[in-house]
Amino acid sequence: MNPDRVHYISGSFQITYLKLDVEGHEMKVISQMLKSGSLKNVRQFGLEIHLIKTKSKSTYRGFTKSLQQLRSKLGFDLVSYNTNNCVAKAFDPTRTYYSIHDLVFYRPSF
């Protein structure tokens, strides 16, 4: 993520809703946003995640840890989780699993 953009997002204003659709880079972006504090002024945000089988288990473990830190460090609750039916199971070679999911996180005390 571009450091200038992180700085811009971490300004002194409040963001009611932030939509993140970074096309497969969400694991890295969320980790960087947690480290930089750029979500401190965000009330809620939507995140489109791309679960691709070629990524390692350690990559997914790190992403899971980042998602847990959204709650433990910043107080975000996961309030919505849906499969993205526009793509459905198209990215899975066996057409068994949904690869793209939409999540919404909300912070009650802001």
The answer on pLDDT for 3 being more than 50 is: no
Token digits for 19? 């939509």
Does residue 3 lie in a domain region? no
Burial label for 91, CB within 10 Å (0-12, 13-18, 19+), is middle
Does residue 84 lie in a domain region? yes
Does residue 6 lie in a domain region? no
pLDDT digits (tens, 9 = 90+) for 21-31: 877 777 778 88
The answer on pLDDT for 55 being more than 90 is: no
Say what the pLDDT of residue 58 is.
Answer: 75
Does residue 68 lie in a domain region? yes
Does residue 36 lie in a domain region? yes
Q: What's the structural domain count of the chain?
A: 1
Does residue 4 lie in a domain region? no
Q: Cα separation of 34 and 52, whole Å? A: 22
Does residue 98 lie in a domain region? yes
Say what the pLDDT of residue 106 is.
Answer: 96
The model's confidence at residue 44, banded by pLDDT at 50, 70 and 90, is very high
pLDDT digits (tens, 9 = 90+) for 95-106: 777 677 888 999
Identify the CATH number of the domain in which residue 68 sits. 3.30.110
By residue range, what is the domain housing residue 76?
Answer: 13-106
pTM of the model: 0.74
Does residue 80 lie in a domain region? yes
